[in-house]
Amino acid sequence: MEKTPETKRILIIEDEAEILHFASRVLELEGYHVLQAKDTKEGMRLIREGRISLLLLDLRLPRRDGWVVLRQIKSKPGLEAIPVIVFTASAGVSQREKALSMGASDYLVKPLSAASLREAVTRTLHQKR
Amino acid sequence: MALKFDILIVDDDVDLASNLRDILEAEGYDTALAGDGQTAFTLCQEKTFELALIDLKLPDISGVKLIKKLARLSPGMEYIINTGYASLETAIEAVGQRHIIAYETKPLDMDHLLALITQVAERRWAEEALRESEERYRALFKNMNDAAFLADVETGRILDANEQGEVLIGRTHEEIIGMHQSKLHPPEKADEYRQRFATHAKKGHAANYDGEAIRKDGSIVLVSISAAPVTIGEKRLIFGLFRDITERKHAEEALQESEERYRALVNLGAEVGEAVVMLQDNEQGHATQTFVSDEWPRITGYSKKELLSMSFFDLVHPSHRQASLERHGKKMRGAIMPGLFEMSIIRKDGTEVPIELTSAYTTYKGERANVAFIRDITERKQMEELYRVLTNSSPVSIHIVQDGKIKFVNRRFLDQTGYAESEVLDRLSLNILHPEDRETVRESAIEMLKGKRLSPYEFRYISKSGEIRWALGTIRSIQYEGKRAALANFIDITEQKRAEERVVEYEELDRLKSNLLSTVSHELRTPLAIIKGYSTMLVDYDRRLRSEEKKEHLQSIDRATDRLTELIDHLLDMSRLEAGLLKLDKQPTNISQLIQEAAAEAKLRAPRHKIETDERQRLPTVEVDARRIRQVLDNIIDNAVKYSDKESEVVVSAQRAGQELLISVADQGIGIPSHELGMVFDRMYRIEQRLTPEMGGIGLGLAICKGLITAHGGRIWVESELGKGSTFRFTLPLVTNAAGQGHGKDT
Q: What is the pLDDT of residues B130-179, one digit of tens each?
A: 777 777 777 777 777 788 888 988 888 998 888 888 989 999 988 899 88
The residue type found at B727 is T
Read off the pLDDT of each residue in B354-361 and give the average, rounded to a whole number. 83
Residue B405 sits at φ, ψ, to 5 deg, of -110, 150
- Quickly state the pLDDT bin for B309 (edges 50, 70, 90): confident
Contact A112 B533 (CB under 8 A): yes
pLDDT tops 60 at residue A129: no
Contact A111 B537 (CB under 8 A): no
- DSSP readout, B88-122? HHHHHHHHTSTTEEEEEESSP-HHHHHHHHHHHHH
Extended beta strands in chain A, E state: 9-13, 33-37, 54-58, 84-88, 106-109
Average pLDDT, whole number, for chain B?
Answer: 82
Residues 6+ apart with CB under 8 A from B481: B402, B407
pLDDT at position B513 is 67
B529 vs A15, A63, A111: nearest CB:
A111
Q: Which chain A residues touch B532 with a CB distance below 8 Å?
A: 110-113
Q: Give B465-515 pLDDT, tens digit per residue.
A: 888 899 998 888 888 777 788 888 888 888 888 887 777 777 777 766 666
When comparing pLDDT for B435 and B684, which is higher? B435
Distance, in Å, from the CA atom of B442 to the CA atom of B434, rounded to the nearest integer, reads 12
> Mapping DSSP to helix (H, G, I), strand (E, B) and coil, where does residue B465 land?
coil
Angle between helices A114-128 and B494-540 (to 10 degrees): 100
Distance, in Å, from the CA atom of A84 to the CA atom of A70, rounded to the nearest integer, reads 8
When comparing pLDDT for A117 and A96, which is higher? A117
Distances (CA, A) of A70 to A8, A92, A102, B583, B683: 20, 18, 7, 48, 32
When comparing pLDDT for A9 and B78, which is higher? A9
How far does B422 lie from chain A, in Å, by closest CA? 58
pLDDT tops 80 at residue B437: yes
When comparing pLDDT for B580 and B161, which is higher? B161
pLDDT tops 50 at residue A1: no
- DSSP readout, B254-299? HHHHHHHHHHHHHHHHHHTTEEEEEEEE-TTS-EEEEEE-THHHHH
Percentage of residues of chain B with pLDDT beyond 90: 16
- Counted residue by residue, chain A has a size of 129
Distance, in Å, from the CA atom of A63 to the CA atom of B469, rounded to the nearest integer, reads 38
Distance, in Å, from the CA atom of B520 to the CA atom of B497, rounded to the nearest integer, reads 33
pLDDT tops 70 at residue A118: yes
Residue B177 sits at φ, ψ, to 5 deg, of -60, 130
How far does B532 lie from chain A, in Å, by closest CA? 6
pLDDT tops 60 at residue B689: no
Of the segments B90-94, B110-114, B201-205, B688-692, which one has the largest average pLDDT value? B110-114
pLDDT tops 90 at residue A57: yes
pLDDT at position B1 is 39
A60 vs B522, B528, B544: nearest CB:
B522
Distance, in Å, from the CA atom of B309 to the CA atom of B131, rounded to the nearest integer, reads 62
Counting Cβ atoms within 10 Å, is residue B508 exposed (0-12), middle (13-18) or buried (19+)?
A: exposed
When comparing pLDDT for B698 and B285, which is higher? B285
pLDDT at position B233 is 67
pLDDT tops 80 at residue B243: yes
pLDDT tops 50 at residue B740: no
Q: Is-contact B295 B275, C-beta < 8 A? A: yes
pLDDT tops 90 at residue B105: no
pLDDT tops 50 at residue B91: yes
Read off the pLDDT of each residue in A48-54 and give the average, rounded to a whole number. 88
- Quickly state the pLDDT bin for B688 (edges 50, 70, 90): very low
Q: Is-contact B59 B89, C-beta < 8 A? A: no
pLDDT tops 60 at residue B637: yes
Q: Give B58-74 pLDDT, tens digit per residue.
A: 888 887 788 888 888 88
Q: Which chain B residues touch A19 with a CB distance below 8 Å?
A: 526, 529-530, 533
pLDDT at position B227 is 87
pLDDT tops 50 at residue B691: no
pLDDT at position B695 is 46
Choose the weakest-confidence range: A29-38, B378-387, B489-498, B534-543: B378-387
Percentage of residues of chain A with pLDDT beyond 90: 41
Distances (CA, A) of A104 to A73, A81, A109, B285: 10, 11, 14, 104
pLDDT at position B484 is 82
Contact B525 A110 (CB under 8 A): yes
Distance, in Å, from the CA atom of B220 to the CA atom of B214, rounded to the nearest integer, reads 5
Read off the pLDDT of each residue in B530-538 and give the average, rounded to a whole number. 93
Q: Give B313-347 pLDDT, tens digit per residue.
A: 888 998 888 888 888 888 777 777 777 788 899 99
Distance, in Å, from the CA atom of B731 to the CA atom of B702, rounded to the nearest integer, reads 15
First and final CA of chain A: distance in angstroms? 12
Check if B528 contacts A (Cβ < 8 Å): yes
Which residues in chain A (9-68) have CB-CB distances under 8 A to chain B? 15-16, 18-19, 21-23, 25-26, 29, 60, 62-63
Q: Give B370-425 pLDDT, tens digit per residue.
A: 888 888 888 777 777 777 777 777 788 888 888 888 988 888 899 989 999 888 88
pLDDT at position B747 is 38
